A and B are shown apart, each in its own frame.
Chain A
Amino acid sequence: MPGLTFTYAVDGNDYHKAGEASRSAKFALKKLGLPPEVVRRVGICMYEGEINMVIHADGGTATLKVGMDEIEIELEDKGPGIPDLELAMQEGWSTADSQANQLGFGAGMGLPNMRRYSDEMQIDTTVGEGTTVRMIIKIR
Chain B
Amino acid sequence: MKKHSVIIDKSKCVGCTTCIKACPNESIRVRERKAKILDQRCIDCGVCISRCPHSAIRSVHTGLEVLEKYKWNVALPDQALFGQFTAVFDPNVILTALLDLGFDDICEPAASAELIAQAAIWESENGTRKQNLPLISSCCPTILRLIRMRFSELIPHVVDTVIPIEHAAMLARDRAARQTGLKPEEIGIIAIVPCPSQITEAQSPELLDAPVIDETIPIVDIFSELESAVKKVDHPLALCKSGRRGLTHAYSGGEATARKAYNFIAVDEIQNCIRMLEEIENGNIPETDYIELNACTCGCVGGSLCVGNPFNAKLRIKKMLGDLPEFYREYDVSEIGKEPIYASKKLEYLPAFLLDEDRSMAFEKLTKIREIRQKLPGIDCGGCGAPSCNAFAEDIVQEKAQLNQCVFRRGNNDGQ
Contact = CB atoms under 8 A, between A and B. Distances in A.
Interface string B124-166: 0000000000000000000000000010110000000000000
Nearest to B150: A30
Contacts of A36: 152-153, 349
B353 interface: yes
A75 to B, nearest CB: 15
A33 B282 contact: no
Most chain A CB within a 10 A radius of its CB, from B283, B354, B360, B367:
B283
A31 B366 contact: yes
A27 B353 CA distance: 9
Most chain A CB within a 10 A radius of its CB, from B282, B357, B364, B370:
B282
Contacts of B278: 19, 23
Interface in A114-128: 117
A56 interface: no
B352 to A, nearest CB: 10
B284 interface: yes
Contacts of A40: 153, 281
A23 B357 CA distance: 22
A32 B355 contact: yes
Which DSSP category, helix, strand, loop or mixed, fits chain B's interface? helix
Contacts of B100: none
A113 B283 contact: yes
Contact of A32 (B152, B153, B363): B363
B353 to A, nearest CB: 5
Interface in B316-364: 349, 351, 353-357, 359-360, 362-364
Interface in A55-100: 66, 68
29 contacts: A2-B363, A2-B364, A2-B367, A19-B279, A22-B282, A26-B281, A27-B353, A30-B150, A30-B353, A31-B354, A31-B362, A31-B394, A32-B355, A32-B363, A32-B366, A33-B351, A33-B355, A33-B356, A33-B362, A34-B359, A36-B152, A36-B153, A39-B153, A40-B153, A43-B281, A43-B282, A47-B282, A68-B359, A104-B284
Interface of B: 150, 152-153, 278-279, 281-284, 349, 351, 353-357, 359-360, 362-364, 366-367, 370, 394
